[in-house]
Structure 1
């Protein structure tokens, strides 16, 4: 029985059939090339399209420098806001695999539309000479529709890909845990390779060959990224959606305030925790109690009114693991980005 248990991961990951992940058939370096290829091509597409976007606004859409800068800033800001949406959907409903997959399709749609807007007569701005062009309202609208589809698409990819790569390694396995560190190195290398090619080769193509090719190549790269990601489906380990961290944090805060008069027992083993071996938070192991931010421990103090309707009310009683999750964020504010 022990040998059979060693076949499967111990971190709660499952395969694409939602069965416990087999360590010999899924995850580790057999799955990572598809994820790394996805990230390299996606970054090449993003930087290849965005690096020269200001000049495109000015020269092709005939926008004043002030308007072009404002539009670029608005679009760039959107690219950094949409990951909050993607992270929430991945944690709460879709899981990382389906979030990356669905938003990648949106991304490719946006890249394709952007390429068409710079290539097809009627969608392409009319130019009287090189870099002296005039775009109609419709042409500009199509261009910005494409760009904001891309911004939405990157919102589902950016917060999930790194974590999804980490999911392929079981922390309970010491060998796999060591390999995870190497994965992070290869991940950032793939980002830099994509960015390097984009900001050198693709920028030159846009300035010397044409915007159609300059946007078309990133579009093809993104299509390759999607194909790379889907081709590794059978090899991936997936964490089940564990619910929104934001909701869990609010529950701890509300439960703590409701019990501000309740005394925390000296014996911390009396604090509420699930009896199961696994945490109540899917995809997370149980966390041990810590002494920091002791006021929050009140959320895990069990009183009779917590069970009025049978099962505990999560807005009145939280597990130790849930409380410790919030403590970890308060101790390391930079971890907020990893949670959301």
Structure 2
């Protein structure tokens, strides 16, 4: 008996308590799996994916306007729509990962398909000489075919990248056991350093690869990111033996809909004051595979009707899940509903951040790109490296300096709460739009005074854009990393990928909002025969007004965030 108890005690130390398993579906051994030794492969894969993504996307606006012969507004809209698609497909990835095949196989299959899409994009860029002879003798027909191939490849990437984006950060966090105090403490630092190292990939993309695209060619410019993605696939598979995996628990969306249907069916039923009378399964585990029960909370009490038992709830001796739901199931839906107000406020922030690869690049293309007195010209898209450098600078500063200092004031173990961190980033982002607006006013003033309207590169150094990029980078460290941790922590174990997908969806909607704003602004500003704000030749436009508009929207959004953050209570 003593030996048996001793063995059980050893097992409690050797194996995780959160239900994770290894690649053989055996209980995960703490010494052999998880923690930082597994995260090395995950972070390396994520960094290479970021290098591939931003190596492809950072300069796409100029690729659309140059090689694909699109107008500035059209190119901006197409870029925003594609970028939006890249961040809305994570919902599909989350659905598959949480419900059916798990995070590992979702990331693995998506990575392989992603690499194929990148290869096809490289192929589409390399066919510019062949198309007039193979498909047509007409140059414009060749451009149409090239455009079709390009967007087919891009949307294949958008579709397949959803599985990676939805799962990769959550999968990394899964490598730390919340029931182990040491590992739980490491999880907060994981989000900081995960974001930090991802930005090293972004830095290489926005500097080296953008330069290759502008001065060597698009075949190499797209080929290098494709190679990076292939290396990311190898990196991810190499860590298979070290990963901890949560088994899929069935579709979370189905469970959420069951709660809605059951509560509506019982809308006339009164909920008992004693929550212990509501329906829940017996034992420590919930009816969701390998998941812990959730405690009852008092908000959204209408949904509690779904857990009030009535005779019709039982069919042939079993529970009808569309009539009777457990408290845990109801709390899953409540956790998502509590997130929605915070989630909505992330959309405007994402619209502002989207300008780094969109209208900031267009603005920079009408400035002096020469570096000092040298003959070297910096590609406009490369200014995004300053945003990335800002992130790389602020992550360790936040983790090692700001957190310990603020902790002494607030007493919170992480210095700022997750919501305080997110709100700080919202506030900082306002100043990026102010900087961009002021710079454009100054640039247009020089154009007007010197009659530079037909001059492509106005003699205003592109390095005046640096402050707006630095500010956005700083805001990212607060808001995006804060959102990453917040959306992971605030959803139940069975919905971690869905939480990540919801966070990423704000980026998608931010891009779509940017696209809609551009279309709306063009419609309004050209209605009475006016030239409009965003023209192919920005020297005749009023781009600063669009930046002012985003600045005002950011200020209003920050005020709304403060209100909803005070309302948000999280799990009680």
State how 1:276-295 maps to structure 2 within 5 Å: 276-282=283-289, 284-295=291-302
Kept in 2: contact 1:118–1:125 (CA 8 A) = no
* Counterpart-to-counterpart distance in 2, 1:339 and 1:66: 29
2:75 alignment partner in structure 1: 68
How much has 1:115 moved relative to structure 2? 1.3
How much has 1:258 moved relative to structure 2? 1.5
List runs of 5+ in structure 1 lacking aligned partners: 127-131
Kept in 2: contact 1:62–1:135 (CA 8 A) = no
Aligned with residue 62 of structure 2, among 55, 59, 63: 55
Aligned with residue 334 of structure 2, among 314, 318, 327: 327
| 1:36 corresponds to 2:198 | no
State how 1:1-340 maps to structure 2 within 5 Å: 1-119=8-126, 135-282=142-289, 284-333=291-340, 334=343, 335=487, 337-338=499-500, 340=502
* Counterpart-to-counterpart distance in 1, 2:65 and 2:271: 63
* Counterpart-to-counterpart distance in 2, 1:123 and 1:33: 43
Kept in 2: contact 1:41–1:194 (CA 8 A) = yes
How much has 1:80 moved relative to structure 2? 2.0
Cα distance change of structure 1 residues 189 and 28 upon mapping to structure 2, 3 Å threshold: same
* Counterpart-to-counterpart distance in 2, 1:120 and 1:106: 21
Cα distance change of structure 1 residues 339 and 307 upon mapping to structure 2, 3 Å threshold: farther
Alignment size in residue pairs = 335
SS in 2 for 1:240: coil
Cα distance change of structure 1 residues 102 and 69 upon mapping to structure 2, 3 Å threshold: same
Q: Deviations over 1:192-213 (max 9, x none)?
A: 2121211111111110111111
Q: Which has the higher contact order (CA 8 A, sep 6+)?
A: 1
Kept in 2: contact 1:61–1:134 (CA 8 A) = no
Q: What's the TM-score, normalizing by structure 1?
A: 0.92
Larger Cα Rg: Structure 1 or Structure 2? 2
* Counterpart-to-counterpart distance in 2, 1:266 and 1:156: 42
* Counterpart-to-counterpart distance in 2, 1:311 and 1:6: 38
How much has 1:133 moved relative to structure 2? 9.2
1:129 alignment partner in structure 2: none
2:453 alignment partner in structure 1: none
* Counterpart-to-counterpart distance in 1, 2:180 and 2:276: 28
* Counterpart-to-counterpart distance in 2, 1:148 and 1:339: 18
* Counterpart-to-counterpart distance in 2, 1:133 and 1:231: 46
Cα distance change of structure 1 residues 33 and 75 upon mapping to structure 2, 3 Å threshold: same
SS in 2 for 1:239: coil
Kept in 1: contact 2:261–2:323 (CA 8 A) = yes
* Counterpart-to-counterpart distance in 1, 2:131 and 2:15: 54
Cα distance change of structure 1 residues 288 and 337 upon mapping to structure 2, 3 Å threshold: closer
Cα distance change of structure 1 residues 68 and 196 upon mapping to structure 2, 3 Å threshold: same
List runs of 5+ in structure 2 lacking aligned partners: 1-7, 134-138, 344-486, 488-497, 503-572
Kept in 2: contact 1:58–1:65 (CA 8 A) = yes
How much has 1:23 moved relative to structure 2? 1.5
* Counterpart-to-counterpart distance in 2, 1:306 and 1:221: 54
How much has 1:283 moved relative to structure 2? 5.1
Deviates more, 1:232-241 or 1:263-272: 263-272
How much has 1:123 moved relative to structure 2? 5.5
* Counterpart-to-counterpart distance in 1, 2:131 and 2:109: 28
Kept in 1: contact 2:128–2:146 (CA 8 A) = no
How much has 1:174 moved relative to structure 2? 1.0
2:444 alignment partner in structure 1: none
* Counterpart-to-counterpart distance in 1, 2:131 and 2:41: 35
* Counterpart-to-counterpart distance in 2, 1:241 and 1:157: 16
* Counterpart-to-counterpart distance in 2, 1:47 and 1:58: 18
